[in-house]
Structure 1
Amino acid sequence: MNNESRQMPDRPVVDTRPTAVSVAEQFQNQTLRPVLKLLDAGLMTYWLHHLPKRKTPFERFTKPEKLAHIERAIRDDTKLRLTLVGMVLGQFTPEEWAIFTANESELTRRLLTLLIQRLQSHIDT
């Protein structure tokens, strides 16, 4: 396999308000949102792969139960949370990694919120 066939696609552009005031907000809008958009299908695929392993009757849940389960699973299941976060962190450039580590607590909190919202956005019934 040559190097050209293994290159990642360009990150999508996410339209955000240009009034971001903090480093964390700028990083969220310029890095986290585009990476999550890029990884959307992969994140959802991993989520669906995760459900049978936990013997979760997800398809029988009502929409509010599904939304609550996604949030609870990401917050409480360490392996799931670390895998999803790792998928995102693996997309960072060295410069982005430096910003992330300098603001790790705040950016991790924001990342988890965005991950939950991203997976919940796929729930329609």
Structure 2
Amino acid sequence: MSQRDLFIKEFRGESIGIISSQSTSDELFQNEVLRPILKLQNDLFIASFLNNMSKNKIDFNTYSIEKKIAMIENSIQKDIKFGNALKGMIIGLFTLEEFSIYIKNSSNLNKRMMGMLIERLKSQIQLLEVI
């Protein structure tokens, strides 16, 4: 294992979530790789989302909770450039081995990543209110 891979695994921390003998390979990847990265990058995701709202001249603070939730979902699912930037923030913290696993199943793992990220942002909606 390369120095970079060792550093990344140490930097990200331990697995998050339940891992059992019945876990699928996608669940293993989610709990061992994706969850620690999402936790580590959380502040960056919030800052990126707020920047995206600002760039698009969207006054996020004036929206109802329901509209804010819809904005989070739409900005990640429909704004391809923004979604790809977020994916890059996650993929950049993969080891080479994890990247090879990812490219074999990128479609499913992308759905999982983006779904988890949307839920993470929605659960922190109060942090997304710009002062």
Q: TM above 0.5, one fold?
A: yes
Runs of 4+ in structure 1 deviating by more than 4 angstroms, as ranges, are none
Question: Is it true that 1:105 corresponds to 2:107 in the alignment?
Answer: yes
Structure having the higher helix fraction is 2
Question: Is it true that 1:74 corresponds to 2:62 in the alignment?
Answer: no
Structure 1: which 5+ residue stretches go unaligned? 1-6
Report the RMSD for the aligned CA atoms in angstroms.
Answer: 1.8
Identical columns (%): 34
Amino acid at match of 1:52: S
Structure 2: which 5+ residue stretches go unaligned? 1-6
Q: State the TM-score, normalizing by the size of structure 1.
A: 0.87
Distance 1:79 1:35, change over 3 A: same
What is residue 58 of structure 2 aligned with on the other side? 56
What is residue 92 of structure 1 aligned with on the other side? 94
Q: Deviations over 1:15-63 (max 9, x none)?
A: 4112352111110111000000000011111111111111111110111
Q: Deviations over 1:85-110 (max 9, x none)?
A: 11100110001001101111110110
How many residue pairs match? The answer is 119
Determine the C-alpha separation between the residues in 1 that align with 2:34 and 2:112.
Answer: 9
Determine the C-alpha separation between the residues in 2 that align with 1:26 and 1:36.
Answer: 15
Determine the C-alpha separation between the residues in 1 that align with 2:54 and 2:19.
Answer: 41
